Amino acid sequence: MLWMIKLKDMHTLVERAVSENNPLAPDIEKIVNHYAKLNRRFDKIVSLSDSYQSQLRDLNLRLELLAHTDSLTGINNRGHFMDLLSAELDRNRRHERVFSVLMLDLDHFKSVNDTYGHAVGDEALRTLPRVIQASRLRKSDFLGRIGGEEFAIALPETGIRGAFEVAEKIRANLERTAFIFGGEEHFMTASIGVSEYRHGDTEDTLLQRADHAMYRAKETGRNRVCLSD
């Protein structure tokens, strides 16, 4: 607005110089026209700058999303999940709340890849988060792909018994969920380990106990839920 007011005043100055037959009127008009031209260029630069800044913000958001997201499944990658888990454990320590995590591994996943190909295996990995999220997870719960066919689910303010019920619901839902690939139905099962936060736990020790429970579930027949020791 300030630029427009100054330019308007300059045009008034030209009109006054012309009406008063001021000998400098032509020079004043040239200066004002040049100023107007510069002003238009400036407005264009400002507009382009705003556009570039908007594009830069969008790119930064996309980069941040890519840095935090597993490219295949669209959920948190390991690094971001661990950051979220660390922050949640800090809150848990301050407020002395219960907290549990699940470690989940798809059963016989290598056989799926070997038998049907990696495309079917990838579809199974993409299907799993949808099954987990459809198992009535709360907004405060979060999950991530830890690596390969391993996934972790964090359950704030949930004791081990409540976490067992969530894990069992996920296991049962996955067992009866069919996903279609190549015109055929395929089914998957999962082994799940559950651990509850103990005083002094770190992210690693909490997940490690859930991981050990998950492997015990595999060793005792798969497609089941086991609690940590």
pLDDT tens for 73-127 read 999 999 999 999 999 999 888 888 899 999 999 999 999 888 888 888 998 999 9
Examine the fold and report which residue of 45, 68, 91 is the final residue of a domain before the chain moves on: 68
Q: How far is CA 80 from CA 37, 50, 86, 87, 146, in A?
A: 51, 31, 10, 11, 10
> 149 an active-site residue?
yes
Strands 190-196 and 99-106: antiparallel
**Cα 101 to Cα 97: distance, rounded to the nearest angstrom:** 13
Q: What is the pLDDT of residue 148?
A: 93
CB atoms within 10 A of CB 130: 15
Query: Does some domain include residue 73?
Result: no
- Domain tally, the chain: 2
Q: What is the pLDDT of residue 26?
A: 72
Nearest-10 Cα torsion for 11, 13, 17, 19:
70
Percentage of the chain lying above the pLDDT 90 cut: 53
Give the active site residue among 88, 96, 123, 149.
149
Q: How far is CA 204 from CA 135, 200, 201, in A?
A: 26, 11, 8
Query: Does some domain include residue 84?
Result: yes
Q: What is the pLDDT of residue 183?
A: 79
- 107 and 178 share a domain? yes
Q: Which residue has the higher pLDDT, 52 or 68?
A: 68
Domain extent, residue 15, equals 2-68
Instruction: Please say whether the beta carbons of 129 and 164 come within 8 A.
Output: no
Query: Does some domain include residue 82?
Result: yes
Question: 119: alpha, beta or left, given left = phi > 0 and alpha = psi -120 to 50?
Answer: alpha
* Closest listed residue to residue 157, CA positions, set 201, 103, 197: 197
Two tokens, residue 8:
């308007």
Strands (E), 109-189: 142-147, 150-156, 178-181, 184-187
- 28 and 51 share a domain? yes
- 115 and 173 share a domain? yes
